[in-house]
């Protein structure tokens, strides 16, 4: 459990405390929100300066590792889903949604039934709920997506939807109710199961649940335009061209 923030007098002290107690991305997002509050206060003539102006610009994201953009093959994807259905059926819908929508885990964690059309033909990805914050936030880059659901995704959502529910209920919850902790899921269920699949030869390499997103983007590029994938995945075309587009080609190296 995170400690309550002490009394902090300056914006720099707030920045440093955030960086010490939360991830760089959460600290950056929080400072962006505080900056917006400060800007509003100035525009409303409640303050003469914004102490948070530009503070988030000094926070640089961690450099991605060499396998940051790696993806599972579709055969590996289907085997992972199958194993969760057999060993941990409660978590199978979560795994399917990761692979079938390409959503970030924090975006799925924020998904409520009000974000799903009544006929389950469309999703709205517009929020994120990182495990280390108490309040829902905007998506990583502030983008929203109206995501069309194909037939298998519609079946999944209709089966997942309770008979009695409120529109503001979270779609994915813990077994005991409340918000779903995807980091705990990663440690207790995803990692052990994937390690077993690697040892048995059914999956080539261990990758985290976040790589389900890369798997979806890589596969989607074989069927959709870069512009469509960029919109549906809430990622810039430049990132797609740099990290994904070249992987859609299957390279066969002859013996020479």
pLDDT at 66: 47
Strand spans (E) along 149-204 = none
CATH numbers and ranges of domains, the chain:
11-58 (no CATH), 74-248 (1.10.443.10)
pLDDT at 3: 57
pLDDT at 254: 73
pLDDT at 252: 65
pLDDT at 21: 75
pLDDT at 4: 63
- pLDDT by residue for the chain (256 residues), tens only, comes to 455 667 777 887 787 777 777 767 677 778 777 888 878 888 887 888 888 887 777 776 655 444 667 899 999 999 999 999 999 999 999 999 999 999 999 999 999 999 999 999 999 999 999 887 778 888 888 899 999 999 999 999 999 999 999 999 999 999 988 899 999 999 999 999 999 999 999 999 999 999 999 999 999 999 999 999 999 999 999 988 888 765 655 666 678 7
Q: Is 74 helix (H, G, I), strand (E, B) or coil?
A: helix
Neighbour count for residue 84 (Cβ, 10 Å): 20
Query: What does pTM read for this prediction?
Result: 0.75
The Cα 113–Cα 50 span in angstroms is 37
Strand spans (E) along the chain = 122-125, 127-128, 137-138, 145-148
pLDDT at 189: 98
The Cα 77–Cα 75 span in angstroms is 5
The Cα 67–Cα 227 span in angstroms is 24
């Amino acid at each position: 459990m995170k400690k309550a923030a002490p009394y902090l007098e300056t914006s720099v002290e707030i920045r440093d405390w955030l960086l010490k107690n939360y991830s760089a991305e959460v600290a950056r997002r929080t400072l962006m929100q505080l900056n917006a509050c400060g800007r509003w206060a100035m525009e409303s003539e409640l303050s003469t300066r914004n102490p948070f102006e530009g503070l988030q610009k000094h926070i640089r994201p961690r450099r991605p590792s060499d396998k940051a953009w790696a993806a599972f093959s579709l055969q590996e994807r289907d085997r992972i889903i199958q194993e969760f259905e057999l060993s941990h059926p409660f978590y199978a819908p979560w795994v399917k949604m990761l692979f079938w929508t390409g959503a970030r885990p924090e975006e799925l964690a924020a998904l409520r039934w009000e974000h799903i059309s009544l006929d389950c033909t469309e999703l709205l990805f517009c929020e994120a709920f990182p495990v280390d914050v108490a309040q829902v936030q905007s998506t990583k880059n502030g983008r929203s997506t109206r995501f069309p659901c194909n037939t298998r995704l519609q079946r999944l959502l209709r089966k997942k939807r309770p008979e009695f529910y409120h529109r503001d209920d979270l779609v994915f919850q813990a077994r005991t109710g409340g918000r779903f902790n995807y980091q705990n899921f990663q440690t207790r269920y995803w990692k052990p199961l994937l390690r077993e699949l690697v040892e048995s030869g059914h999956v080539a390499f261990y990758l985290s649940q976040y790589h389900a997103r890369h798997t979806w983007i890589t596969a989607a590029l074989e069927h959709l335009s870069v512009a469509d994938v960029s919109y549906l995945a809430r990622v810039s075309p430049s990132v797609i061209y740099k990290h994904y587009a070249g992987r859609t080609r299957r390279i066969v190296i002859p013996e020479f």
